[in-house]
Amino acid sequence: MQIANSLSVLIQQQISSHELEHNTGSADSTYRSSCPKGKTNKMANRIMALIVDDNLLNQRIHSTLLNKHGIETEVMGNGKEAVDAHFSGKKFDLILMDRDMPVMNGIQATRKLREMGVRSIIVGVSSHSSEQVKEFMEAGLNDYQEKPLTLTKLTSILQRWNLSL
């Protein structure tokens, strides 16, 4: 119970810091906030998501989940691929980061992306205990959801982080 409460506090802190950044018009979020829903600027409204997961099943399910929300997706099989992609200039609005992956796991990748200055919304997706979630959150996640992701969980993420079209 105490750990669940600590996790809620951590998530609330992440939300508050994101809202602050959002209001000061950070580069990553400005184009989204300036395009009201229903307007025709499709390029500006397009949300790009990156799914980082070594499991093919989860890659397929999470892609389809996001596509159903009108979100374009790209898939990578481990944290290093995600980091390398950002080094080469790729940007995403949302990153779904699995925790356990070969080569570079989700904790290491999240930490690295934040060190690089990546300000995308990073949502950790895993099936670990609350203690291990805390370590993952502290690496720089904005949010965390337990696997498997569902339509409801994804909707709540998108609404919480203002990523709905």
Tell me which residues touch another protein (CB under 8 A). Answer: 55-58, 60-61, 64-65, 67-68, 100, 127, 147-148, 150-151
The CA distance from 114 to 49, in Å, is 17
Distance, in Å, from the CA atom of 154 to the CA atom of 156, rounded to the nearest integer, reads: 5
User: Which residue's CB is nearer to another protein, number 23 or number 156?
Assistant: 156
CB-nearer residue toward another protein: 14 or 63: 63
The distance of closest approach from Cβ of residue 30 to another protein in the complex, given in angstroms and rounded to an integer, is 31
How far is Cα 70 from Cα 61, in angstroms, rounded to an integer?
A: 15
| Token pair of 8 as six digits | 């809620």
Q: Which is nearer to another protein, 27 or 57 (CB)?
A: 57
Cα–Cα distance, 68 to 164 (Å, whole number): 12
Residue whose token pair is 């949302």: 94
Rounded CA-CA distance 121/158 in Å is: 10
Nearer to another protein, 55 or 130 (CB): 55
In the complex, least distance from residue 77 CB atom to another protein, rounded to whole angstroms: 13
Host H or E run for residue 131: helix 130-138
**CA-based max dimension of the chain:** 46
Q: How far is the CB of 125 from another protein (least distance, A)?
A: 10
> Looking at beta carbons only, is 40 or 152 nearer to another protein?
152
* C-alpha–C-alpha distance, residues 76 and 59, integer Å: 8
Minimum distance, C-beta of residue 56 to another protein, in the bound complex (Å): 6
